[in-house]
Amino acid sequence: YSVVLLDEVEKAHPDVMELFFQVFDKGTLEDGEGRMIDFKNTIILLTSNVGSDTIMKLSADPELLPDPAALAEAIRPELVGQFPAALLGRMIIVPYYPLHGDVLRDIIQLKLGKIVRRVRANHGADVVYGDDVVDLVLTRCTESESGARNVDAILTRTLLPAISTEILDRMAQATPFSRVAVSVTDGEFAYEIN
């Protein structure tokens, strides 16, 4: 059993899409050495950002979300503009709804929890943060269209380097610490280590 995932398939060369006609029609694919590859027990997932603007517009109000079938129908013209209709006819289109506040908040808390565990494991110190930290990350995620992808970028480009610098300073001075407090001051992360 296998799962094949091709992310952002719209960026692939058109010949890649041609390969899938053979896979979807015959269930096999011939490799460069003439061997037949059997896709009998394989799920092929192709992701695409085609139609994402339409999905964002139609999903702007969580109370008025269209059902998946209506969403798939709404993005179909954009999909047909990017992919051959014959290929689309061989696939099941599953549109994904944008992530909204509560789900993003859960993702942020999971990522922050990973940082908490990492600092505790490596330095024996507790990392504490309040809802204001989660809110700031959430605000920055919703400012751009990258949503949850931006969580890692925000944490690895701002929060982690600052915490690491503070910890390294303490270690260089041989100053023990047992707590790292992260908060928000004037719209920016603030850190206190004691």
Residue 23, domain extent: 2-88
Q: Quote the pLDDT of residue 143.
A: 66
Q: Is the pTM of this model over 0.75?
A: no
- Counting as low any pLDDT under 50, the low residues of the chain are none
The answer as to whether 93 is a domain residue is no
String of DSSP letters for 136-175: HHHHHHHHSTTTTHHHHHHIIIIIHHHHHHHHHHHHHTT-
What is residue 79's three-state secondary structure?
Answer: helix
Q: Are residues 119 and 79 in the same domain?
A: no
Q: Which pLDDT belongs to residue 144?
A: 59
pLDDT of residue 10: 95
- Contact by Cβ (8 Å): 192, 136: no
Domain-embedded: residue 96:
no
What percent of the chain lies above the pLDDT cut of 90? 78
- In this predicted structure, what is the pLDDT of residue 115? 96
Instruction: Give the pLDDT score at 62.
Output: 80
In this structure, is residue 77 part of a structural domain? Answer: yes
Q: What is the pLDDT of residue 20?
A: 86
R_g of the chain computed on alpha carbons: 23
The pLDDT assigned to 145 comes to 64
